[in-house]
Copies of this chain bind each other. A is one copy, B any other.
Amino acid sequence: MIQTGIPTKGPTLGDVGERSVIQSIVDVTPSSINGDDAAVLHRSSPNSRAVVTTDMLVEGRHFRWDVTTPRQVGRKAIVQNFADIEAMGARPVAALLSLSAPKDLPVAVVTELARGIGDEVGKYAAELVGGDVTSGDSLVMSVTAIGSLGGNRWALTLDGARGGQNLVAHGRIGYSAAGLALLESGREIPEELTSLVQAYQAPEITPGSGVIARSAGATSMTDNSDGLLHDLKLLALRSGVNMDIDSSTIAPDDRLRAAGEFLDHDPWQWVCEGGEDHTLLGTISGDAPVGFRTIGGTAKPGTGEEPVVTIDGGATTYGGGWESFA
């Protein structure tokens, strides 16, 4: 069953006050290192480095209660940050949550957000180690994720792709955008398409995929936060290599095609331009790492030529991607 909307009953943040709001978060995300001026992370192996990233989520812009629940939003907030840690080849170990919310917001909304965060950090054996709550006109969440990059091998940076490599992917592509389109249509969603909706409401990546890819020899990685072509274009530009996608490897599957027919929408648009699947995208000289599949390859551009992303060797009319101030 598809769930959306927020709890509307019970005490509000203003009723219970800051300390109780914090307690309601900590209760569902227990951590022995939370609650001081700052959190001291457990010591990793001597050679490990810390990896950090952050994302801000604004109600009405990055999440809406007509298409998600607070628990799902909590899960998404962690997944999108942890995907960025994985995309460096690192292991997520901790998260911080900052939250600004109106005083009249029911505490249950915050508790559910925190529960979703707890669900997801638990999958990674990570912890919510700190945060801040404050009042504000709108509901704004900021999540910071901290990861551990073991050993001496380089991180999977955006400039690490080289010519002659395989382009590899882990996770579905286009499902999240299709799921959002289904929810926004306002139509009753057929049972067989609910997995698309779930992919939007609570995308999942397999914990450890980035670490596996790094161990297997991947040299660059990102995720499709903003759209497959948009994010690959960034990888291509930063690395200075061309990327060509084999269309048969990303072609809309039965579900995406069914959703496309149901909504009279081109499913390729979801695949090429839809973001938020948090599918890991990387390059490797050898075979695709476990859990990844090859979706194309890279090549050195001609001298003086700007790197391009092509499909089956040709230019594509798809493009676009997310722009924050559009």
Contacts and interface: CB of A to CB of B under 8 A. Distances in A.
Given A51-B40, A158-B37, A325 B17 contact: yes
Given A36-B157, A49-B42, A50-B50, A134 B96 contact: no
A53 B38 contact: yes
Number of copies of this protein chain within its complex: 2
Interface in A95-114: 96-100, 103
A90 to B, nearest CB: 7
B137 A138 contact: yes
Chain A interface size band reads 35 or more
B52 A146 contact: yes
**Among all A-B residue pairs, the 3 with the closest Cβ atoms:** A142-B142, A38-B53, A46-B46
Interface of A: 13-14, 16-18, 21, 35-43, 46-47, 49-56, 58, 60-62, 83-85, 87-88, 90, 94, 96-100, 103, 129-138, 140, 142, 144-147, 149, 155, 157-158, 221-223, 323-326
27 contacts: A16-B325, A37-B53, A37-B84, A37-B88, A38-B52, A38-B85, A38-B88, A38-B90, A39-B51, A41-B50, A41-B51, A42-B49, A46-B47, A52-B146, A53-B96, A54-B97, A55-B132, A56-B98, A56-B99, A56-B100, A56-B134, A58-B136, A103-B325, A134-B324, A135-B325, A137-B137, A140-B140
